[in-house]
Amino acid sequence: MQPADRETVTGLPPGIAAARDTLTPMLSQYADLCAAHEDALVLFQVGDFYEAFCEAAETVARVCEVTLTERSDSTGDYPMAGVPIDNAAPYLESLLDAGYRVALGDQVEDAEQASGLVDRAVTEVITPGTVVEDDLLESGTTNYVAAVAADDAAGESGSAARVGLAAVDVSTGECLVTSGDADAVAGELDRIAPAELISGPDAPDFAPSDAARGWTPHEYDDGAFDRRQAAERLEPYLSAPDRRFASDAELRAAGAVLAYAEYTQGDDGPLSYVTRIRRYDPHDRLRLDAAAQRSLELFENRGLGASDTLFDALDETNCALGRRCLERWLRRPLVDADAIRSRHDAVGELADRSLAREGVADALATAYDLERLVSRVSRGRADARDLRSLCRTLAVVPELKATLADASGDAGGTDAVAEEAGSDAEFPRTDHLRDLRERLDALAEVRELIDTAIATDPPQEITEGGVIREGFDDDLDDLRATEREGREWVADLETAERERTGIDSLSVGHNQVHGYYIEVTDANLDRVPDDYRRRQTLKNSERYVTPELKEREESIVGAAERADAVEYELFVDVRDRVASETERIQGLADALAELDALTSLAAVAVERDYVRPELRAEAEGSVESDAGIAIEGGRHPVVERTETSFVPNDADLPRGSVAVITGPNMSGKSTYMRSVALAVVLAQTGSFVPAQAATLPVFDRVFTRVGASDDIAGGQSTFMREMSELTEILHDAGPDSLVLLDEVGRGTATTDGRAIARAAAEFLHDELGATALFATHYHGLTDLADERERVFNLHFTATREDGDVTFLHRVVPGASSSSYGVEVAELAGVPRSVVDRARDLVAADEADRDRRTNGTDAGARVDDGAASGEELSGDKDRDGDASLREFLAEEASDERGASGSDSGDVPGAPAESGDAGNRSPDGDAEVPAGGGTDLAAALRDLDLARMTPIEALNALYDLQSRIDDDG
Ligand SMILES: Nc1ncnc2c1ncn2[C@@H]1O[C@H](COP(=O)(O)OP(=O)(O)OP(=O)(O)O)[C@@H](O)[C@H]1O
């Protein structure tokens, strides 16, 4: 997006403004539309094209890559560029991608009927969040525009301002409203991921946490956020809007977002297909912020192929409705144990009944996107093909009802389904599926209406006839009969006239300009009868009409024109009658969507061997105190699809416990942690989980801090981002939260990183009581298991044989003893010389450690067992009772010990060993004594093989500062 460019071309182009007083009537009309739509680029219908003029034309030409031409009229020459209306979609998409809003200035009267200038008006403003064109929308996805407003009365009680959030998907009519403090609303915005956000004058600034997938912010009329105006706006949508929201902020956001949505749809009044405004509390759902969605790769996978996401693993839906529903469920999993169990019941039943499931899937595969269809019907934009698609989708309903009918009773279940589980097996047994069956409204009269009214294979155009079925309307049938008879008469005319005149070469034809004619070649002109009237002379022939032919022609054309007009009227009437059932059709769409999502979950459960999770949560207040996660043979739903032999692992995490997970790089720590979190997310979505058995509590939030992902676009350093994510977790996590921390602290110098990791783990355990999985390469952290009641160690193992490392990917109790970092570097193809050098450094480090352990300063060991390949027992013996303060004090002493900066006394005396560490880089000169010797020791002690580039940089920086300090 280039805001500077946009300023010059949205609204009234300067070139048109400058000539405004002298413009022709048409350009003057263009100027008026531009001036009334200051935030949009106006595309102005001229015949079959959408045109733009002056600077706006330059933008259209550049962005859409079309030719810039010139329009000349009596008042001057104007640059002009246009796109064909018939094929406007790709050009509109380019303009939207470039950040423009596009106002379509359509001709709103028939050009042939117009007495002067054709009337034009903006019929739609296309914006990223309010597109309704199928060509510009992805199938099976949601596309929201959202608005935020803050309470005027904020802060009175000292509490943070309440922020209202409302979002509308204009293509389907879905409307959501919620509120919370600014953090909660930021989280909801991440979850809803609107394409566009409009903010009230007093609303906080919200920025998308993922700039790449973020929304377009937009300033919109402050008046729309006014409480009174908002309440008035909402009246057609809700009775007593004043009493329907939890706060003024919600009401104002809802009013404003609907005002904006109406404006983009041509300001034709309320959007009749927005029939349900659903308000919800963010706490009613499992909260997954953008960081969690990203790191758990729910919808996006940045590493592997784009399709390797949890959503893709779960998506066996059969239609766009189901796909959108499944996406909604996964973005907002449940927290109500009964609701979750109810979904599990339905999934289980569909999983058990494969014939029923396949029957449902086959039927749904022929369903069209009812939500978008009905919103088009209701907006008056649906064509005859849309109505036919709607009718075909309604035809699926009786089939589905039969499949879901009680197979044992007399409700007419299909025989195959009855046979499957024995004829006496009741189906469906679960309340959930029974409810869904009840909600399948066949809308028989709507289907019947469309079926009898609309042609089976109608044209796209609705004004040119052929859309209404014969037999639907007598007048129309009479007109069509007149037309047909006339055409038959004309078709017979040739034979009749050849007989009458004796001219064998005589022919009857038709063209646009002259209509019907009789053509006679020059050689036969002498045989032309008297009643022939000459119409046209060609090179070798003459064309004639007769009074009777003329009369017939008029009757054919008249009947056809009237029939087209009658058809259009009938079509619009049928469409309006269908639109009057919008709410019922939306209800059916919801039921079909849910059924499809459940069927998809069931299919996945069967195909991939998922198991129904048992929920530990009881009724509120009676949660078992340590009812935690217990998974047997758990798998990662995405990785197991790409790994040929995935190793299942158990997880046993009492509530409020912290599992410290160590192990070599690449051993499977992250995969394991994510499998556990994904099991929770899946279970609360209503899905079965990839495991042999699983018992799970219901969590309220899942937090993740996984991987040192860069946020260059967001303008934060890796470490800064890591720390802000950690801050949020430590602020908001509680006993009902699941927290995943992966290598926290690795983005900064080792000492600081270790300290932060340990302090965070302690805080999670002592203060927050959250259930946490903590993967780390800082082996010192494993000591916490001895000090804290609910901290325990897990580790991943690998075997090393003849220098080859094999990862077992199996989790076992206890702490890890080796890191295999150098081996992983070798596996990854790091050059031989670097690998060898790293091995030497590790060996030197180990030797040094041994010397220190056996020497005078046993307390000055390097703590990080991972870095040294130190065995578990060595770690354990060390500082069983170290509190954080002691731990940090020891870290400091480690540092001093390593650098010798405190006393000048270098433990282990590396300088005396004649080690390469005290030589200059080229190996010639000795490093000067004193500070220089310390530096050499510190340099030698750097564990390069285990450091991240940023750690190495920090260490170098430290060393350099010491040179400066030492002069
Ligand atoms: N249980 C498993 N069974 C089979 N393969 C697995 C398993 N777990 C992980 N892997 C494979 O090992 C790779 C590395 O796993 P993962 O990223 O979880 O390791 P890690 O220990 O977190 O590594 P690092 O410490 O370097 O971040 C995965 O991409 C996957 O291909």
Q: What is the pLDDT of residues 694-731, one digit of tens each?
A: 999 999 999 988 765 444 444 456 677 777 778 888 88
The 10 Å Cβ neighbour count of residue 653 is 23
| Ligand 1, atom 9, residue with closest C-alpha | 668
| Ligand 1, atom nearest to 673 Cα | 18
Q: Is 646 in the pocket of ligand 1 (CB under 6 A)?
A: yes
| Ligand 1, atom nearest to 824 Cα | 26
Poorest-confidence range of 363-377, 694-708, 845-859? Answer: 845-859
Q: Which pLDDT belongs to residue 729? A: 86
Domain range for 51? 3-126
Q: Which pLDDT belongs to residue 411? A: 40
Q: Is 909 in the pocket of ligand 1 (CB under 6 A)?
A: no
CATH number (domain holding residue 675):
3.40.50.300
> Ligand 1 centre from 668 Cα, in Å?
3
Q: Is 647 in the pocket of ligand 1 (CB under 6 A)?
A: yes
Name the residue of 635, 636, 643 to mutate for ligand 1: max ligand atoms within 8 A of Cβ. 643
Give the HSE-up count for residue 208: Cα atoms under 13 Å, Cβ half-sphere: 19
Q: Which pLDDT belongs to residue 220? A: 83
pLDDT at 572 over 90: yes
Q: Which pLDDT belongs to residue 621? A: 47
Same-domain status, 656 and 674:
yes
Q: Which pLDDT belongs to residue 319? A: 93
Residue that terminates a domain, selected from 530, 559, 576: 576
Q: Which pLDDT belongs to residue 858? A: 37
Res. 225 pLDDT band, cuts 50 70 90? very high
| Ligand 1, atom 15, residue with closest C-alpha | 668
Residues in binding site: 663-670
CB neighbour class for 832 (10 Å; exposed up to 12, middle 13-18, buried from 19) = exposed
- Region 828-849: what's the mean pLDDT? 74
Say how far apart CA 125 and CA 129 lie, in whole Å. 11
> Ligand 1 centre from 738 Cα, in Å?
21
pLDDT at 418 over 80: no
Q: Which pLDDT belongs to residue 605? A: 97
Q: Which pLDDT belongs to residue 915? A: 35
Q: Which pLDDT belongs to residue 776? A: 87
**Nearest-5° angle of CA 663, CA 669, CA 675?**
155
* Position 299 in a domain: no
- Region 402-426: what's the mean pLDDT? 55
Q: Is 673 in the pocket of ligand 1 (CB under 6 A)?
A: no
| Ligand 1, atom 5, residue with closest C-alpha | 646
Query: What would the pLDDT profile of 624-653 be if each residue is shown by its tens digit?
Result: 555 799 999 999 999 998 888 899 999 999
Closest CA to 587 of 377, 443, 373, 439: 439
* Position 452 in a domain: no
Residue % of the chain over a pLDDT of 90: 37
Q: Is 308 in the pocket of ligand 1 (CB under 6 A)?
A: no
Poorest-confidence range of 578-582, 668-672, 956-960? Answer: 956-960
- Region 841-860: what's the mean pLDDT? 61
Same-domain status, 156 and 117:
no
* Position 306 in a domain: no
The answer to pTM > 0.90 is: no
Q: Which pLDDT belongs to residue 855? A: 54
Q: Where are the alpha helices (DSSP H) in 284-421?
A: 290-295, 310-314, 320-331, 337-352, 354-364, 370-379, 384-403, 415-420
Q: Is 472 in the pocket of ligand 1 (CB under 6 A)?
A: no
Q: Which pLDDT belongs to residue 498? A: 93
> Ligand 1 centre from 85 Cα, in Å?
52
Q: Which pLDDT belongs to residue 51? A: 92
Say how far apart CA 634 and CA 773 lie, in whole Å. 15
Q: Is the CA virtual torsion 519, 522, 527, 532 positive or negative?
A: positive
Q: Is 634 in the pocket of ligand 1 (CB under 6 A)?
A: no
Q: Which pLDDT belongs to residue 276? A: 83
* Position 289 in a domain: no
Same-domain status, 147 and 215:
yes
Q: Is 819 in the pocket of ligand 1 (CB under 6 A)?
A: no
Query: What would the pLDDT profile of 775-789 be if each residue is shown by its tens digit?
Result: 988 888 888 888 888
Q: Which amino acid is at 92?
A: L
Same-domain status, 85 and 178:
no
pLDDT at 874 over 80: no
> Ligand 1 centre from 903 Cα, in Å?
44
Res. 47 pLDDT band, cuts 50 70 90? confident
The contacts of residue 962 (CB under 8 Å, 6+ apart) are 899, 901, 931, 934, 935, 938
> Which position has the token pair 């997310």?
681
pLDDT at 894 over 90: no
The contacts of residue 72 (CB under 8 Å, 6+ apart) are 78
DSSP 8-state code for residue 918: G
Residue that terminates a domain, selected from 607, 623, 652: 607
- Region 255-276: what's the mean pLDDT? 88
φ, ψ for residue 798, nearest 5 deg: -145, 155
pLDDT at 802 over 90: no
> Ligand 1 centre from 949 Cα, in Å?
22
Same-domain status, 938 and 805:
no
Q: Which pLDDT belongs to residue 212? A: 59
Q: Which pLDDT belongs to residue 914? A: 33
Same-domain status, 563 and 586:
no
Same-domain status, 233 and 156:
yes
pLDDT at 2 over 80: no
| Ligand 1, atom nearest to 810 Cα | 1
* Position 743 in a domain: yes
- Region 920-945: what's the mean pLDDT? 53
Res. 423 pLDDT band, cuts 50 70 90? very low
Same-domain status, 40 and 152:
no
- Region 795-817: what's the mean pLDDT? 79
* Position 860 in a domain: yes
Res. 865 pLDDT band, cuts 50 70 90? very low
CATH number (domain holding residue 562):
1.10.1420.10
Poorest-confidence range of 309-323, 739-753, 785-799, 930-944? Answer: 930-944
pLDDT top residue among 351 and 136: 351
| Ligand 1, atom 13, residue with closest C-alpha | 666
| Ligand 1, atom 24, residue with closest C-alpha | 665
Q: Which pLDDT belongs to residue 852? A: 65
Residue % of the chain over a pLDDT of 70: 80
Q: Which pLDDT belongs to residue 449? A: 96
The 10 Å Cβ neighbour count of residue 263 is 19
Q: Which pLDDT belongs to residue 626? A: 59
CATH number (domain holding residue 57):
3.40.1170.10
Same-domain status, 207 and 278:
yes
Q: Is 210 in the pocket of ligand 1 (CB under 6 A)?
A: no
> Ligand 1 centre from 745 Cα, in Å?
20
Q: Which pLDDT belongs to residue 710? A: 42
Q: Which pLDDT belongs to residue 317? A: 95
Same-domain status, 545 and 518:
yes
Q: What is the largest CA-CA distance in the chain?
A: 134
Q: Which pLDDT belongs to residue 869? A: 33
Query: How much is the mean pLDDT over the chain?
Result: 80
pLDDT top residue among 22 and 877: 22
Q: Which pLDDT belongs to residue 210? A: 66
Residue that terminates a domain, selected from 786, 816, 846: 816
The ipTM of this complex is 0.98
Q: Which pLDDT belongs to residue 927? A: 30
> Ligand 1 centre from 665 Cα, in Å?
8
CATH number (domain holding residue 257):
3.30.420.110
Say how far apart CA 483 and CA 562 lie, in whole Å. 10
- Burial code (b: 16+ CB inside 10 Å, e: under 16) for 446-477 equals bbebbbebbbeebeeebeebebbbeebbeebb
Say how far apart CA 204 and CA 199 lie, in whole Å. 8
pLDDT at 928 over 50: no
- What 3-state DSSP class applies to 637? coil
Q: Which pLDDT belongs to residue 756? A: 84
pLDDT top residue among 853 and 426: 426
**Nearest-5° angle of CA 60, CA 65, CA 70?**
60
Q: Which pLDDT belongs to residue 406? A: 56
Say how far apart CA 401 and CA 363 lie, in whole Å. 10
Four-CA torsion 312, 315, 316, 322, nearest 10 degrees: -150
Q: Which pLDDT belongs to residue 240? A: 82
The 10 Å Cβ neighbour count of residue 101 is 23
Q: Which pLDDT belongs to residue 841? A: 76
- Region 243-249: what's the mean pLDDT? 87
Q: Which pLDDT belongs to residue 165? A: 94
Residues in binding site for ATP: 663-670
| Ligand 1, atom nearest to 642 Cα | 31
Res. 890 pLDDT band, cuts 50 70 90? very low
* Position 456 in a domain: no
Same-domain status, 654 and 795:
yes
Name the residue of 638, 639, 779 to mutate for ligand 1: max ligand atoms within 8 A of Cβ. 639
pLDDT at 891 over 70: no
Res. 921 pLDDT band, cuts 50 70 90? very low
* Position 838 in a domain: yes
Poorest-confidence range of 240-249, 352-361, 414-423, 469-478? Answer: 414-423
Q: Is the CA virtual torsion 725, 726, 727, 728 positive or negative?
A: positive
| Ligand 1, atom 1, residue with closest C-alpha | 647
pLDDT top residue among 806 and 585: 585
Q: How many domains does the chain have?
A: 6
pLDDT top residue among 831 and 717: 831
Give helix then strand counts, H and E, for the chain.
33, 27
Query: What would the pLDDT profile of 457-496 be if each residue is shown by its tens digit?
Result: 998 888 877 899 999 999 999 999 998 999 999 889 999 9
Q: Is 667 in the pocket of ligand 1 (CB under 6 A)?
A: yes
Same-domain status, 118 and 157:
no
Q: Is 639 in the pocket of ligand 1 (CB under 6 A)?
A: yes
Cβ atoms of 418 and 406 within 8 Å: the answer is no
> Which position has the token pair 């220190």?
852
pLDDT top residue among 258 and 717: 258
Res. 5 pLDDT band, cuts 50 70 90? very low
Name the residue of 649, 809, 820, 948 to mutate for ligand 1: max ligand atoms within 8 A of Cβ. 809
pLDDT top residue among 942 and 486: 486
> Strand 515-521 relative to strand 701-705: parallel, antiparallel, unpaired?
unpaired
